Structure 1
Amino acid sequence: MWYAIFISAIAMTGIIALRYFASSGAFALATNFRKPGYHSNLGPQIRREILWSLASAAVYGIPAGIVAWGWQERGWTQIYTQWDAMPLWYLIAAPLIYLVLHDTWFYWTHRLMHRPKLFRTMHAVHHASRPPTAWAAMSFHPWEALTGAIVVPALVFLVPIHIASLGLVLLVMTVMGVTNHMGWEMFPRRLVHSRLGGWLITASHHQRHHEEYRCNYGLYFRFWDRLCGTDRGLSERI
Structure 2
Amino acid sequence: MVAAILLSALAMSAIVGVRYLLASGSFALATRIRQPGLYRGLEKQMGREIGWSLLSALIYGVPAGVVAWGWQARGWTRIYADVGAYPLWWLPLSLLLYLALHDTWFYWTHRWMHRPRLFRIAHAVHHASRPPTAWAAMSFHPWEALTGAFVIPVLVLLIPIHVAVLGCVLTIMTVMGVSNHMGWEMFPRGLVRGPLGGWLITATHHQRHHDHYNCNYGLYFRVWDRLCGTDKGLGDFKKVDG
Shorter-chain TM-score range: over 0.9
CA deviation vs aligned residue, 1:185-230 (integer Å, no higher than 9, x gap): 0001111111111000000000000000000000000000001100
Q: Deviations over 1:29-85 (max 9, x none)?
A: 111111111111101100000000000001000000000000000000000010100
Measure the CA separation in 2 of the matches of 1:114 and 1:233. 19
SS in structure 1 of the partner of residue 83 of structure 2:
coil
Aligned partner of 1:92 in structure 2 is: 92
Q: How does 1:19-98 map to 2 (within 5 A)?
A: 19-98=19-98
Matched residue, 1:156: 156
Name the aligned partner's letter for residue 122 of structure 2: M
CA RMSD of aligned residues (A): 0.6
Instruction: Give the TM-score taking structure 2 as reference length.
Output: 0.97
* Residue of structure 2 equivalent to 1:109: 109
The alpha carbon displacement at 1:235 in A equals 3.4
Using the size of structure 1 for normalisation, the TM-score is: 0.99
Q: Distance in 2 between matches of 1:198 and 1:84?
A: 35
Q: Spell out the pairing of 1:132-171 with structure 2 (5 A cutoff).
A: 132-171=132-171
Partner of residue 196, structure 2: 196
- Secondary structure (helix, strand or coil) at the match of 1:45 reads helix
The alpha carbon displacement at 1:18 in A equals 0.5
Question: Partners in 2 of 1:42 and 1:197 — Cα distance?
Answer: 29
2:214 aligns to what? 214
Give 1:8's aligned residue.
8
Unaligned runs of 5+ in 2: none
Q: Which runs of 4+ in 1 moved over 2 A?
A: none
Q: Report SS of the residue matched to 1:120.
A: helix
